[in-house]
Amino acid sequence: MKFLISLLRLLPPELAHSLALNALHFLYVMGLSKFIFPSSVTGDSFIYRNLNFKNRLGIAAGLDKNGDYIDSLGSLGFGFIEIGTVTPLAQAGNPKPRIFRLFNQHAIINRLGFNNKGLDYLVSKVKSRKYSGILGINIGANKDSEGQKRIDDYIECFYKVSPYADYIAVNISSPNTPNLRALHARENFIPLFSALNIARSEQDFANPVFIKLSPDESKETISDIIKAIREYGFDGIIASNTTVDHSELPDEASHKRVGGLSGKPLFQKSNELLASIHEDDHDLFKIGVGGVFSAQDFNKKLESGASLVQIYTSFIYEGPGVVSKLLN
């Protein structure tokens, strides 16, 4: 497996990503993945709001944007899977190259820009899944949507995915869609939260709604958002999305590269956000994500206040074996 991962590293990142996931899907369809990647994990089960997570480790949004690999990823032993980010209309995302692997730092910089096949495609894949575990769906807005249209995009996604989602994650924190992080400002997130609250009531959506946050906002801004999350009856947060702060990277060229940084360099920054929110509101439900590569990293997220943990970059670098590595 390590040899195959090394070969994939020689390919352009998006091609390697596609080949790896399609190979995983092929093995799953052929009934071989359970022998090659046995899901004999020993992580503790966890129940929240009548959702039964077989363990606390999940895959973060971004790996399977369109729901193409729900069943094959579900066969690997994850306690839950989050797909997306999905937007109402299909969009190509930002121009290539837009993913940059920093092997020495176990990190990735991406500026994908919500590339996905659109809401109707994702819903069709979700409806046909065999996976019976916990499925979260991450929603966003199209790149060219602004003002009220941007809010309308979130609401359209909410309405269409709510019949099929065990939870919905609202992504207001990607750095790769112009001005999306402006939704961290009160004058912008209050209208969005209000509209989401109405949609939730109209859909009678009883499952959790989480807000995915940026690690680059001030403590005051985050505190203001947490208060609003409570005010509108949402359930918790995901901390965190990628960071645009590249100052900790040793390569000066990477400091100037545009995009969100994930992987090991994000670990401390995302933990600080998580711990700060936990200190501010101990009872708020939290999902920790960012830089988890070892069992110690996994446990640190839990110690910092997370009830669940997600991975992304470590899965890219280490493959399916990382699941048992973190949980056993």
The pairing of beta strand 99-102 with beta strand 107-110:
antiparallel
Among the listed residues 72, 174, 214, 270, the single catalytic one is: 174
Closest CA to 245 of 279, 275, 268, 225: 268
Tokens 């999940």 correspond to 58
pLDDT tens track of the chain, all 328 residues? 676 777 778 899 999 999 999 999 999 999 988 788 776 666 789 999 999 999 999 999 999 999 999 999 999 999 999 999 999 999 999 999 999 999 999 999 999 999 999 999 999 999 999 999 999 999 999 999 999 999 999 999 999 999 999 999 999 999 999 999 999 999 999 999 999 999 999 999 999 999 999 999 999 999 999 999 999 999 999 999 999 999 989 987 688 899 999 999 999 999 999 999 999 999 999 999 999 999 999 999 999 999 999 999 999 999 999 999 999 8
Contact 129, 75 (CB under 8 A): no
Distance of CA 96 to CAs 14, 61, 93, 207, 244, Å?
Answer: 10, 20, 9, 37, 18
pLDDT reported for residue 285: 98
Q: Provide the 3-class DSSP secondary structure of residue 297.
A: helix
Q: Provide the 3-class DSSP secondary structure of residue 98.
A: coil
Q: Provide the 3-class DSSP secondary structure of residue 37.
A: coil
Phi-psi map region of 174: left, alpha, beta (phi>0 left; psi -120 to 50 alpha): beta
174 noted as active-site residue: yes
Q: Provide the 3-class DSSP secondary structure of residue 17.
A: helix
- For the domain spanning 2-327, the CATH number is 3.20.20.70
C-beta neighbour count of 190 within 10 angstroms: 15
